Amino acid sequence: MSAKPKVAFFDFAGCEGDQLEIINLEDRLLDLVEVVDIVSFREAMSEHSDDYEIAFVEGSITTQHDLERLEKVRSNADILIAIGACATIAGVNAIRNDQDFEKVKERVYGEDAELFDDPDAELFEAFEKAYPAQAFVDVEYQVPGCPIDGDEFIQMITLLLEGGDPSLPNHAVCVDCKIEENTCTFERGETCLGPITRGGGCDATCVTQGARCWGCRGMVDNPDDDVYEEVLQEYDVTTEQLVNEFTLYWSWERNPEYPAEPPEVQQ
Ligand code: SF4
Ligand code: SF4
């Protein structure tokens, strides 16, 4: 990697909330541009260059057009980093993966669903399912979350530039939650995905703010289902009651697909 590596940001299907988190870093973003050369960042600048070493990719891959763009980014970059749940685990976009695509189109687009039949419209190339970047190309690193945590983003890029290993942390959100001394949501009569969700970057902020963990950082590696079952039993919660929560962020992750061939486009 060069002394001041060239960095580019790309967005696919998503709300661009992760890029917004990065822009909101304000002063720290100015520190960042002292050590990297940002050559492409549509949300923040009009210039664009295809000459970069590190590519940050946000959003899911949901069309043939997305896939072709992603492959081009991959071939240009030495290091590709997925940021946010949509890019790392297909996130909320993958809620559709287990549903009838015809009904999904009608529900989302109404009469405009007919655009899927129009060869001149971008929707013409839509895939039935949403995929994370890693389903199609090698991804060196990930920054999880919905949206990502700005501090975690800075930490990971600092580690990368210093030659460290910015791999994903692999402990449950419950660990962070205990450090924050939160009252467990199960004690409040609510459910929580914290026992099997990857912590280490969000500081259990949702629980700290009075909500619960919805699993946006993805599952820990080898989640201990037995221990989670024990927690659910202790609080008289069935896994059936949690189906919708498992679906919100984990639809792709629970049934991961790595298509050898590009998926067929849906008309
Ligand atoms: S991961 Fe969340 S914040 Fe990022 S693009 Fe997707 S929906 Fe938006
Ligand atoms: S509130 Fe959730 S994350 Fe916190 S300890 Fe309880 S189960 Fe774990």
pLDDT in tens, 129-157: 999 999 999 999 999 999 999 999 999 99
Helices and strands (H and E) in the chain: how many = 10, 7
Residue that is last in its domain, among 167, 196, 215: 167
- Most ligand 1 atoms within 8 A of CB, residue of 146, 152, 214 to mutate: 146
- Structure tokens that stand for 51 in this block: 């000459």
Q: Which domain holds residue 69?
A: 6-99+127-167
Average pLDDT for residues 223-248, to the nearest whole number? 88
| % of the chain surpassing 70 pLDDT | 98
Output the pLDDT for position 111. Answer: 87
Output the pLDDT for position 195. Answer: 94
Residue 138 lies in a domain: yes
Q: How confident is the model at residue 174 (pLDDT cuts 50, 70, 90)?
A: very high
| Centre of ligand 1 from the C-alpha of residue 205, in Å | 16
* Poorest-pLDDT segment among 66-80, 110-124, 200-214: 110-124
Task: Specify whether 131 is located in the same domain as 227.
Answer: no
Ligand 2 pocket, 139 CB below 6 A?
A: no
Output the pLDDT for position 262. Answer: 85
- Most ligand 1 atoms within 8 A of CB, residue of 12, 62, 92, 216 to mutate: 92
CATH number (domain holding residue 159): 3.40.50.700
- In sign, the C-alpha dihedral spanning 181, 187, 189, 194 is positive
| Centre of ligand 1 from the C-alpha of residue 76, in Å | 24
List, in order, residues 6 or more apart from 147 with CB less than 8 Å away: 17, 18, 20, 21, 84
Output the pLDDT for position 117. Answer: 74
Residue 214 lies in a domain: yes
The mean pLDDT of the chain is 92
Task: Specify whether 133 is located in the same domain as 195.
Answer: no
Average pLDDT for residues 12-16, to the nearest whole number? 96
Residue 261 lies in a domain: no
Q: How confident is the model at residue 207 (pLDDT cuts 50, 70, 90)?
A: very high
pLDDT at 120 over 80: no
55: phi then psi, degrees, rounded to nearest 5? -115, 130
Average pLDDT for residues 230-256, to the nearest whole number? 91
